[in-house]
Structure 1
Amino acid sequence: MSTDPTPTSGEGRTARSALLAEPAALVLEDGTVHRGHAYGARGETLGEVVFCTGMSGYQETLTDPSYCRQIVVAAAPQIGNTGWNPEDGESHVSGADDSSGRIWVSGFVIRDAARRDSNWRSTGTLEDELRTQEIVGISGVDTRAIVRRLRDKGSMKAGIFSGDALESSTEQLVERVRAQDAMAGADLSGEVSTDETYVVPAEGETRFRVAALDLGIKSNTPRMLAARGIEVHVLPHDASLAEVKAIDPDGVFLSNGPGDPATADEAVALTKAVLGEKLPFFGICFGNQILGRALGLDTYKMPFGHRGINVPVKELATGKVAITSQNHGFALRSPEGGTWESPFGPARVTHLCANDDVVEGVALEDGSAFSVQYHPEAAAGPHDASSLFDQFTELMSRTAGNAQGSSNRKAAE
């Protein structure tokens, strides 16, 4: 099947600019081809194609390490109008002068590229940043048709081709797309994690110290913890229990990240060791799947996942619904009845997605460990779930021994 939409001419566009546009093609593994214009870098890129329903926050999306090896289709019709700025990036870059962040997506697919950036914080255009970071994209395609196809058929392998890469036949492009590795079975934490530990200091008085395992951590997460008086030590994905304990942490945090949680055996082993030490534990997104595995649950790949900033989640204990930011293509398989006996005591499902009943949170019944599938740091997205950071802080406050540890720390400082 081939789709060749001709982009409509927006206000101010000229026939000359249309003639100068370079061709590009988005090719799906089922043989579907969408032709449009080259956007960003020229060349070839491969990845799993997924769609994001967020109407804002494209810079945060592009720099989210959880999108590693994925080609993102923006459901919002116009992209690029707020340009690019040095503040909104969500990936930590060692030695960088700003936090504009490394772009982690493999490719970007949009309908209508803004003709110019218009925002007081903008320091450049989105397309220029894509070119600088060598990210291949495509514009002028029917993103509604692509999203509908992915909802019907599920996320699939894909590629974007422009420039010299378009010289191959359609059949050859489809074969290149199909030959790439699938996301199921992909172990990607090592690609996105920090190489060495770094520290995000607490704002004001240091109340607690947290060891945060970087499986693809977003920059706003340590900031949210720091704002609550928490000193955050961000550790590489393969950190050992000895390295965690060397920090003398009051709690342990597991971050979001890309790939198949079924491959994250090291992170699961570390989580089991942390639970055995009775250290307060909080995980989000990939960290939720890791905690679930440590507690004895299985994971599975979803047809097209949850990616957006308006996903409703129900807290089972209270019935309250929060609108959340999400980005995941895998999920925990719910146990019958929502409760089970884990190796560390009774456990339960705490949250479900109001749209499809996907597990959105798990916890130990004693309250010592909990996690959620969504992104309470809200970058980008609503702030409904930010109180989870307060819940983690309260957990550390009431955990035996933490009060003495904190007082010792204050005395030393």
Structure 2
Amino acid sequence: MSTVPAILVLEDGRVFHGQSYGATGETIAEIVFSTGMTGYQETLTDPSYAGQIVAMTAPHIGNTGVNDEDFESRRFWVDGYVVRDPARVFSSWRSDRSLDDELKHQGVVGISGVDTRALTRHLRERGSMRGAIASGPDSFSAADIDQLLARITAAPRMEGSDFLADVTTTEAYVVPAVGEKRFTVAAIDLGIKGMTPRRMAERGIEVHVLPATTSYAQIQDIAPDGVFMSNGPGDPATADHPIALVQAVLADRIPYFGICLGNQVFGRALGRGTYKLVYGHRGINQPVQDLTTGKVEVTAHNHGFAVDAPVEGMFDTPFGDARVTHVCLNDQVVEGLALLDRPAFSVQYHPEAAAGPHDAAYLFDRFIDLMSEPRTMTGVNA
């Protein structure tokens, strides 16, 4: 294990001491916590974490190493990584190398030996904030910490951030349907995870994954049966082009399904605002109720922003009445939306959910229902 000292400094002045984990150096970003007990490789490769230092609440990280099959995208996206007790030895028949080695290879600056319970309680009480990890010197003086704090307070906040150019694909590509092709879907990549088009392909959908800058004319050239908009990082208030795309899709009554950032973009396309949560929802154990069925599902989340919409009753939009379809049972945050007379809905969480849970996989079937009967909301408001 590393003996190189490291520190984690928060913008409100709190300091945590530990040891370097992964690459040495310095990183500054918003610091958030994830409550997942497993799936750390999927977390690290989720593009929605761009611009964030992620603290893991599970105490032991790295137990199963890293393999080349479970990457959700082309690389690690976190700006920094905080753990309590990194595994001294990794053990899995699927592992190829240690997490520490992969963090170094990917250039992710991390820290271990941190009291992550205390850190999580601090962030829950005071909210997600900017922070920094620094490692490398033999020790850190008070002057070093003051200088690091000055760099933190000069760093940009998550509000107003836009990472779409960094995370989106540069070229369109196709994920073919498994078995008989039933539908064609245009998937707008705002930071898509690899499991998402795979889940659609398993249902007979040919998925055309398109850059975030794709024009509506380019979508029309594909003649899709439906349009999907993925998860992604940053402030939805900056996503002007995706919002305009969704409005064009809704105007033409093409079936629409959005997740995560795609849900926030959908909300803004309907004329609703979005706001930053105090500390967000991140992890694979978040309880959500489907208000259309009453069913409660355990879901995977990664969002620091939410749609501002009334949980009860309907609300007006430029495309007719809409309603909230899903809510988080921890805090009543909006987790899903649907139009009542156009084939469009979205959720704030991950129905593809690698590495689980799989309670929300039915949402891909709802999307198929919309494409089967494109002028109804069959399966959404049943």
Which bin holds the TM-score, normalised by the shorter protein? over 0.9
1:115 equivalenced with 2:88 (yes/no):
yes
SS of the equivalent of 2:203 reads coil
Q: Which AA in structure 2 matches 1:105? A: V
1:313 equivalenced with 2:288 (yes/no):
yes
1:188 equivalenced with 2:163 (yes/no):
yes
Which one of the candidate residues 107, 112, 119 is aligned to 1:139? 112
Paired with 2:9 and 2:292, the residues of 1 have a C-alpha distance of 45
Paired with 1:164 and 1:126, the residues of 2 have a C-alpha distance of 23
Paired with 2:185 and 2:317, the residues of 1 have a C-alpha distance of 25
Report the alpha carbon displacement of residue 338 of structure 1 after superposing the two structures with TM.
3.9
1:78 equivalenced with 2:60 (yes/no):
yes
Query: For the structure 1 residues 302 and 355, does the alpha-carbon distance in structure 2 shift closer, same or farther, using more than 3 Å as the test?
Result: same
1:130 equivalenced with 2:103 (yes/no):
yes
1:59 equivalenced with 2:59 (yes/no):
no
Q: Which AA in structure 2 matches 1:111? A: R
Paired with 1:224 and 1:145, the residues of 2 have a C-alpha distance of 38
Native 8 Å contact 2:21 2:109 kept in 1: yes
- Which structure 2 residues correspond to residues 161-310 of structure 1 after superposition, within 5 A? 161-164=134-137, 169-310=144-285
Report the alpha carbon displacement of residue 111 of structure 1 after superposing the two structures with TM.
0.2
Paired with 2:294 and 2:173, the residues of 1 have a C-alpha distance of 39
Paired with 1:395 and 1:44, the residues of 2 have a C-alpha distance of 48
Question: Which of the two has higher C-alpha Rg?
Answer: 1
Report the alpha carbon displacement of residue 119 of structure 1 after superposing the two structures with TM.
0.3
Where has structure 1 moved over 2 Å in runs of 4 or more? 164-168, 335-338
Match of 2:380 in 1: none
Report the alpha carbon displacement of residue 317 of structure 1 after superposing the two structures with TM.
2.2
Report the alpha carbon displacement of residue 123 of structure 1 after superposing the two structures with TM.
0.3
Paired with 2:250 and 2:137, the residues of 1 have a C-alpha distance of 53
Native 8 Å contact 2:319 2:342 kept in 1: no
Match of 1:157 in 2: 130
SS of the equivalent of 2:100 reads helix
1:90 equivalenced with 2:72 (yes/no):
yes
Report the alpha carbon displacement of residue 380 of structure 1 after superposing the two structures with TM.
2.4
1:37 equivalenced with 2:19 (yes/no):
yes
1:378 equivalenced with 2:353 (yes/no):
yes
Deviations, residues 136-174 of structure 1 (Å, cap 9, x unaligned): 000011000000000000000001000159766110011
Native 8 Å contact 2:231 2:262 kept in 1: yes
* Alignment TM-score, normalising by the size of structure 2: 0.96
SS of the equivalent of 2:321 reads strand
Report the alpha carbon displacement of residue 336 of structure 1 after superposing the two structures with TM.
7.2
Native 8 Å contact 1:53 1:307 kept in 2: yes
Report the alpha carbon displacement of residue 367 of structure 1 after superposing the two structures with TM.
5.0
Paired with 2:186 and 2:111, the residues of 1 have a C-alpha distance of 40
Paired with 2:222 and 2:349, the residues of 1 have a C-alpha distance of 27
RMSD over aligned Cα, in angstroms?
Answer: 1.5
Match of 2:28 in 1: 46
Match of 1:26 in 2: 8
Paired with 1:127 and 1:262, the residues of 2 have a C-alpha distance of 36
Q: Which AA in structure 1 matches 2:56? A: A
Match of 2:378 in 1: none
Q: Which AA in structure 2 matches 1:48? A: E
Aligned length, in residue pairs: 374
Paired with 2:245 and 2:348, the residues of 1 have a C-alpha distance of 19
Paired with 1:132 and 1:384, the residues of 2 have a C-alpha distance of 34
Native 8 Å contact 1:61 1:380 kept in 2: no
Report the alpha carbon displacement of residue 399 of structure 1 after superposing the two structures with TM.
2.1
Native 8 Å contact 2:65 2:95 kept in 1: yes
Q: Which AA in structure 2 matches 1:189? A: L
SS of the equivalent of 2:323 reads strand
Native 8 Å contact 1:297 1:335 kept in 2: no
SS of the equivalent of 1:148 reads helix
Paired with 2:374 and 2:337, the residues of 1 have a C-alpha distance of 19
Paired with 1:28 and 1:131, the residues of 2 have a C-alpha distance of 23
- Which structure 2 residues correspond to residues 5-16 of structure 1 after superposition, within 5 A? none
Native 8 Å contact 1:43 1:164 kept in 2: no
Paired with 1:373 and 1:36, the residues of 2 have a C-alpha distance of 34
Paired with 2:365 and 2:204, the residues of 1 have a C-alpha distance of 11
Report the alpha carbon displacement of residue 337 of structure 1 after superposing the two structures with TM.
3.9
Native 8 Å contact 1:109 1:137 kept in 2: yes
Deviations, residues 293-317 of structure 1 (Å, cap 9, x unaligned): 1111100000000001111111112
SS of the equivalent of 1:374 reads coil
Q: Which AA in structure 1 matches 2:26? A: E
